[in-house]
Amino acid sequence: MKRRHALGAAALGITTSVLTSCAGGQRSRPAVESDSDLPQIRWRMATSWPVSLDTIFGGAAMVCERVRLLSGGRFDIRPYAAGELVPGLEVLDAVQSGSVQCGHTAAYYYVGKNPAFAFATSVPFGLDAQQQNAWLYEGGGNAAVDRLFADFGARAFPAGNTGTQMGGWFKRQIDSPADLQGLKMRIPGLGGKVMAALGVNVQVLPGGEIFLALERGAIDAAEWTGPYDDEKLGLNRAADFYYHPGWWEPGPTVHALVNEEQWAALPKIYQDMFSSACHQANLRMLCRYEALNGTTLTRLLAGGTQLMTYSDEILQAARDASFQLYADSARGDADFRRLFEQWRGFRAELMAWNRTVYPLTRFLHQSEVS
């Protein structure tokens, strides 16, 4: 066997095994016999992230690198930082128009186009990262999300998760819902709608613009992801009070979006490679954030950051506003209602199981390991 043929077979084996483990045992079959039959394809991937955020931009880069490796360099995708090709909040528009073949972004940036997009990323008091993956991969979530993106000529692949986020940086303390009145805060998605219902003046800014807005007082507060990325953006230099928990994003997924026509034109084996690469990026990004955030938080606290907990009064007000928003949105939007009912049914069963095993989790967290 020639070396190139061996590499192609090995790559196909990797792709097939990963897809089998992540897609309920459905095994993909090779569309070609040899990588010499594969076409040379060059794609561009627009992203919503600055390169400085190496973990979340790294998720996009990983998808591209894995596809390049699995294809022996014949399917080459280049990732671009926010603003290089299109603004960070216009990735879906670029993919839909076909000006880029694919993108890496957060679906909840586009709730103005369809409010149900929020479920693809994360919703207030929703699912943590493990639960979100269970819903997407095994609970019908991927299919439900793809039906939404089909209206925009795209399909979506989970390609990263930041894990449970922090509750944002504030220039002053907030102790009650009254303290939120008139506050200018950067927060997207349904979390932003809930904050708006609590009196916040909500702003939606891409990551690269948050620091200057916060430092210069254009906004009073901002949330991004967690300690590692927040420190990268310098948010600890613009505000002193770091709140938790991030009740609006307990397990946010980021997605790779692909133009539907471009996807249909790919050889089946390239489709399998892309899907496999997204699975790997989804797992790797979460693991990396979990490993980095604890160390970074320790450093931030040593540097003077004040760690604050949202009061029970604020959390209760936010929870009440969240579920009122779900009810109102379900009444007014058929897409939202269908997805919300499917998600809510899965969530109810999942939470019943989690309540069974969480006591052990709490015990483990409280125990010392010698």
Binding residues for substrate: 165, 186, 223, 249
The binding site for Na(+) comprises 224
The binding site comprises 165, 186, 223-224, 249
Q: For residues 290 and 229, is the Cβ–Cβ distance under 8 A?
A: no
Q: Which tokens go with 327?
A: 């009810």
Q: For residues 51 and 79, is the Cβ–Cβ distance under 8 A?
A: no
Query: Judging by DSSP bridges, how do beta strands 75-80 and 253-259 pair with one another?
Result: unpaired
Cis amide linkage into residue 245, ω under 30° from 0: yes
Question: What sign results for the dihedral spanned by CA atoms 355, 360, 363, 365?
Answer: negative
3-state secondary structure of 202: strand
Name the amino acid, one letter, at 267: P
- Quickly list DSSP for 41-57: EEEEEEESS-TT-TTHH
Name the amino acid, one letter, at 198: L
- Quickly list DSSP for 128-180: -HHHHHHHHHHSSHHHHHHHHHHTTTEEEEEEEE--SPP--EESS---SGGGG
Distance, in Å, from the CA atom of 289 to the CA atom of 39, rounded to the nearest integer, reads: 36
Query: Judging by DSSP bridges, how do beta strands 169-170 and 241-244 pair with one another?
Result: antiparallel
The residues, ordered by sequence, that sit 6+ positions from 297 with a Cβ below 8 Å of its Cβ are 227, 307
